[in-house]
Amino acid sequence: MSRFLKFTLVAGLTVSATATVVWSGEYGLGREALPEEIAAWDVKIMPDGRGLPEGEGDVWTGEEAFIENCAVCHGDFAEGAGNWPALAGGEGTLADDDPVKTTGSYWPYLSTVWDYVNRSMPYGNAQSLSPDDVYAITAYILYSNFLVDDDFVLSNENFAEFEMPNADGFIVDDRAETEYAVWHGEPCMENCKDSVEITMRAAVLDVTPVEEEAAAPAPGEASVEEAVAEPEPEPAAAAPDPELVAAGEKVFRQCKACHQVGEGAKNRVGPQLNGVVNRAAGAVDGFRYSSALMDMAADGLIWDTESLAAFLDDPRGYMKGTKMGFAGLRSDEDIDAVTAYLMSFEE
């Protein structure tokens, strides 16, 4: 019997075994999930700590891991940077006019912190932390909220003992009693109020987004204007391949959460990147670079295609201590493309 036939026979047996299902399902569709598969995807942590892996982490290890992985958005002391969430502070403010809802002041369960850091953080590089890192970062977040001392060590052993300050701050939806029972019946149709006055206007606040007129050309004008106003660019010797630039624009989506390019680009979590290619490292005004980057800049680092490729391939391997929380680009094609895209933006 040829190998091919043998293979078909085995495959056939497998199919028929699947067809005579072992599970109770009516349709016999799908297949049984393997333990390794369930272990890989089922990482949820229950409020009582069920699901936690073995491990531990202390506050000081947590501080280091936090500064490396989290501080770029959440601040060195978990106080939050820019529009990104603060994780510390806000104690006793929940009944104020402007409550400050942080991990310490609001979150009812510590399991939620561990689960979320483990599965979804760092932002843009999820599921890259070890269990010990996650314990340590969680311990540091507690410390930054003054909820533990600096010698605190969090582990799967003591996890369930910890109660968050706002654990009792929640009630189950009571709208049926407080609202539905009241806002009910036959509504008023005439003479429902004595007078009506305008008490607040959105135009006074004026926070509605404004779009540039230029972005909305009148129908018919656009094609003519574009044809006249945009002559073919002069082909320069070093001009990047337009297809590569277009591919790079797609790759850059992974970078956009933190870096801006183009007209009006501003420093965000990362510095704006106009003109970055072939420029000295650490040269954007007003951006607080990591000391690791500033050290390499002092040694004369220039972001040429070679150094940029090495950095993008393995950011933390190339620059130990970089603030850039990005795992790196997977392929040389992506690196070439994004470099070509960056070259298309001048300073």
Site for another protein in 265-304 (CB under 8 A): 268-269
Q: C-beta of 1: minimal distance to another protein in Å?
A: 30
Between 1 and 38, CB nearer to another protein = 38
Angle, helices 110-120/131-144, rounded to nearest 10 degrees: 130
Cα Rg of the chain, angstroms: 28
Site stretch for another protein (CB under 8 A), options 200-208, 240-248, 270-278, 325-333 = 200-208
Between 180 and 291, CB nearer to another protein = 180
Any idea what DSSP says for residue 161? G
Any idea what DSSP says for residue 154? E
**What is the footprint of another protein within residues 96-135 (CB under 8 A)?**
97-99, 101, 103, 106-109, 111-112, 115-116, 119-120, 123-124, 126-127
Q: Which of 84, 252, 287, 318 binds another protein (CB under 8 A)?
A: 84
Between 80 and 282, CB nearer to another protein = 80
- The answer to the question of residue 218 lying near another protein (CB under 8 A) is yes
- CB burial readout 47-64, b (16+ within 10 A) else e: eebeebeebbbbbbbbbe
Q: Which of 19, 20, 209, 306 binds another protein (CB under 8 A)?
A: 209
Chain mean position to CA 192: 49
Q: How far apart are alpha carbons 91 and 123 in whole angstroms?
A: 25
Phi then psi dihedrals of residue 154, to 5 deg: -100, 135
CB 144, CB 88: distance < 8 Å: yes
Q: How far apart are alpha carbons 281 and 290 in whole angstroms?
A: 11
Q: C-beta of 200: minimal distance to another protein in Å?
A: 4
Site stretch for another protein (CB under 8 A), options 77-85, 237-245, 274-282, 318-326 = 77-85
- The answer to the question of residue 264 lying near another protein (CB under 8 A) is no
Q: Which of 29, 229, 236, 237 binds another protein (CB under 8 A)?
A: 29
**What is the footprint of another protein within residues 297-336 (CB under 8 A)?**
none
Phi then psi dihedrals of residue 227, to 5 deg: -65, -35
Q: Hey, is 115 helix, strand or coil?
A: helix
Q: Which of 1, 5, 15, 38 binds another protein (CB under 8 A)?
A: 38
Site stretch for another protein (CB under 8 A), options 172-180, 288-296, 300-308, 332-340 = 172-180
- The answer to the question of residue 32 lying near another protein (CB under 8 A) is yes
- The answer to the question of residue 162 lying near another protein (CB under 8 A) is no
Token pair for 339:
């470099």
Between 165 and 282, CB nearer to another protein = 165
CB 345, CB 261: distance < 8 Å: yes
- The answer to the question of residue 30 lying near another protein (CB under 8 A) is yes
Site stretch for another protein (CB under 8 A), options 6-14, 194-202, 239-247, 320-328 = 194-202
Q: C-beta of 347: minimal distance to another protein in Å?
A: 23
Query: Which residue has 């970062």 as its token pair?
Result: 137
Q: How far apart are alpha carbons 318 and 20 in whole angstroms?
A: 54
Residues ≥6 apart with Cβ < 8 Å to 47: 109, 111, 112
- The answer to the question of residue 19 lying near another protein (CB under 8 A) is no
Token pair for 245:
């630039």
Q: Which of 33, 224, 280, 298 binds another protein (CB under 8 A)?
A: 33
